[in-house]
Amino acid sequence: MFKKYSTLVFFMLSGFIAHAQVANRYDIVIDELMADPTPQISLPNNEWIELRNTSSTAFNLLGWRIGDATGQSGTMPSYNLLPDSFVIVCTASAVAAMSAYGPAISVTSFPSLDNTGDVIYLRSPQNRIIHAVSYADTWYQNELKKDGGWTLEMIDTKNPCSGFSNWKASTDIKGGTPGKKNGVDAVNADATGPQLLRAYATDSVSISLVFDEPLDSLKAATAANYSISDGIGIPLSAMAVSPTFDKVNLRLNTPLLRKKVYTITVSAVTDCKGNIISTKNKARVGLSEIADSLSIVINEILFNPKSNGTDYVEIYNRSNKIIDLKQMFIANRNTAGVISNIKQLSADNYLLFPQDFVVITEDPAVVKRDFITQNMDAFVTVASMPSFNDDEGDVIILNAQGNITDELNYDEKWHFKLIDNREGVALERIDYNAPTQQESNWHSAATSVGYGTPTYKNSQYRLDLQVQGEITVTPEIVSPDNDGQDDFATIDYSFPSPGYVANITIFDANGRTVRYLQRNALCGIKGNFRWDGLGEQFQKLPVGIYVIYTEVFNLDGKKKQFKNTIVLARKN
């Protein structure tokens, strides 16, 4: 009898102790989740999460909750989660099916787990965030499995805050491992400090910093760990933002000035494993403004990617404004010519600074695979890009008011004529300041850069030289082999008044006409034409000396002729 009662008292006491324990961050972690159960592989058609006790202490889950960005669940029932053990959390209707795989408990208002990504957190009765997971479907690291039926599993539960690098799709043939050790379980230690991804100002005295992983909340909340340039100095306060703690809000003593770019430096901040921030600890910030016409221009487009590639559009900030891409949109036109398929460039605040580039695409990883990218961070992901046809189409950039900042009606005929296969070849803008819709302002990206320059200056870029004089041809030697070096000749003109008309003819050294480049072309005061080194039928011409003969006249009867000599060369 004594033994029976003593056993009962022990279990009652252990339950009381477990419930009385106060959990620290990561004592219990969300280590598996089923966000998209269809199409079914083998597991029941239910959404659920799995909790794992990573500590040496038993915890009673009475009063615990789970939640997402839209709200949180009801409280969990009394359940003792022992050290290194698991429990499945789901809706009441799913408990019976899930109990076949391990211990399962239910909560009311179980949050809906979005298929493509969500933020899921675990909150203790003391109202502390114990663990949070901000997952995305890229975490599956498997194109087949991300379409449904497979769980996301944490690789190393001793490394709970590394995000993408510590999660992948389950390898279990059932599609997941509810109630037991994950199929992908392995040692995946975190020895890398956090990185500062970007910063943005919500008003003149409020700045938010975005990091690549959760931070130690105490270090992140130390104002002395941050410094802002140009006299702003140390902020008044700092606060790590729950539930994921990968964002820090700063409050300033001195307000930011408009049209001024500041630099924030972060020091002594660590991630949840104690790794300190090191080299990538600076970010620019400033007050953003609404983009107006041609503040942002379309700078490069890949509309006919390789069979396993993806479209991209590169934009360039040619203004002196700091522009928030959360307030910008990409679109095209439907068959009726109406603006349609409008897509927001960024769901989060993302500042595009003056003279910076950013690439818009559905899959940055594919673009980085196919092209040299000098700035790996200069990408925004649009889940479903507007459709851009392989032959011709329309690209539109809109501002927050729905006004067009730039528009391009492209045509594959604008490509370099001697390119046989145009798949995977981007069209590049030659001059930011020349008209977007001017065909001569576009050229195929050079062979030497792999036919595209996403995130950096175009291979065919040519600054408007503002040549003073009448007619000037550059360069003196042209080599039309699409290697990015002198692929075409630029014929710059400068006249005292508008209204001049130009005829430009190309002759070989024997005086034979090889190309009628322009006929009755209306000129402005300043501008340019371009010769791609090809003949009248867009054929290769022999190497040698050629004459560019330009005749101009106006309605007042004024005429003038110009002869410019140029050498046509070829490497092979």
pLDDT tens-digit map of 482-540: 888 899 999 999 887 777 888 999 999 999 999 999 998 888 888 899 999 999 999 99
8 or 314, higher pLDDT: 314
Q: Residue 109's pLDDT band (boundaries 50, 70, 90)?
A: very high
Statement to judge: residues 201 and 243 lie in one domain:
yes
Statement to judge: residues 151 and 275 lie in one domain:
no
Statement to judge: residues 425 and 543 lie in one domain:
no
CB of 396 closer than 8 Å to CB of 404: yes
Give the mean model confidence (pLDDT) for residues 104-128: 95
Q: Is 463 a residue whose pLDDT tops 70?
A: no
Q: Under 8 Å CB-to-CB from 537, ≥6 apart: which residues?
A: none
Statement to judge: residues 480 and 559 lie in one domain:
yes
Q: Residue 20's pLDDT band (boundaries 50, 70, 90)?
A: low
Choose one of 285, 317, 349: the last residue of a domain.
Answer: 285
User: Is 10 within a domain?
Assistant: no
User: Is 315 within a domain?
Assistant: yes
pLDDT at res. 470? 80
Choose one of 417, 449, 481: the last residue of a domain.
Answer: 449
User: Is 550 within a domain?
Assistant: yes
pLDDT at res. 481? 87
Statement to judge: residues 308 and 378 lie in one domain:
yes
Cα 526 to Cα 234, 468, 491: the distances in Å are 50, 9, 11
Statement to judge: residues 317 and 423 lie in one domain:
yes
User: Is 246 within a domain?
Assistant: yes
User: Is 186 within a domain?
Assistant: no
β strands within 392-488, DSSP E: 392-398, 404-411, 427-429, 442-444, 471-474, 477-478
* Rounded percentage of the chain residues whose pLDDT exceeds 90: 81
Q: Residue 272's pLDDT band (boundaries 50, 70, 90)?
A: confident
Give the mean model confidence (pLDDT) for residues 168-190: 96
| DSSP codes joined into one string, 113-176 | --SSEEEEEEE-TTS-EEEEEEEEGGGG--TTGGGTT--EEES-TTSTT-GGGGEEE--STTS-
pLDDT in tens, 206-250: 999 999 999 999 999 999 999 999 999 999 999 999 899 999 999
pLDDT at res. 21? 79
pLDDT at res. 556? 67
How far apart are the C-alpha atoms of 233 and 215, rounded to whole Å?
Answer: 22
pLDDT in tens, 308-350: 999 999 999 999 999 999 999 999 999 999 999 999 999 999 9
Which of these, 145, 155, 84, 80, lies nearest to 115 by C-alpha position? 145
Give the mean model confidence (pLDDT) for residues 278-306: 95
Give the mean model confidence (pLDDT) for residues 51-60: 97
499 or 140, higher pLDDT: 140
Q: Is 10 a residue whose pLDDT tops 50?
A: no
495 or 426, higher pLDDT: 426
SS3 of 215-228: ECHHHHCCHHHEEE
* Residue-averaged pLDDT of the chain: 92
Statement to judge: residues 245 and 106 lie in one domain:
no
Which of these, 333, 334, 314, lies nearest to 325 by C-alpha position? 314
Q: Is 571 a residue whose pLDDT tops 90?
A: no
User: Is 183 within a domain?
Assistant: no
Statement to judge: residues 108 and 206 lie in one domain:
no
User: Is 386 within a domain?
Assistant: yes
User: Is 154 within a domain?
Assistant: yes
How would you class 64 by CB atoms within 10 Å of its CB: exposed for 0-12, middle for 13-18, buried for 19 or more? buried
Q: Residue 440's pLDDT band (boundaries 50, 70, 90)?
A: confident
Q: Under 8 Å CB-to-CB from 484, ≥6 apart: which residues?
A: 445, 446, 447, 448, 449, 459, 460
Statement to judge: residues 211 and 264 lie in one domain:
yes
Give the mean model confidence (pLDDT) for residues 104-115: 96
571 or 10, higher pLDDT: 571
Statement to judge: residues 25 and 160 lie in one domain:
yes
pLDDT in tens, 155-169: 999 999 888 899 999
CATH, residue 540 = 2.60.40.4070
pLDDT at res. 521? 87
CATH, residue 214 = 2.60.40.1220
459 or 7, higher pLDDT: 459
CATH, residue 29 = 2.60.40.1260
State how many domains the chain has.
4
Q: Is 130 a residue whose pLDDT tops 70?
A: yes
Q: Per the structure block, which two tokens stand in for 93? A: 């209707």
pLDDT at res. 467? 37
Choose one of 254, 285, 316: the last residue of a domain.
Answer: 285
Statement to judge: residues 428 and 319 lie in one domain:
yes
Statement to judge: residues 439 and 335 lie in one domain:
yes
Q: Establish whether the linkage from the previous residue to 475 is cis, with ω within 30° of 0.
A: yes
Q: Domain residues for 72?
A: 18-169
Q: Per the structure block, which two tokens stand in for 199? A: 């910063």
pLDDT at res. 496? 77
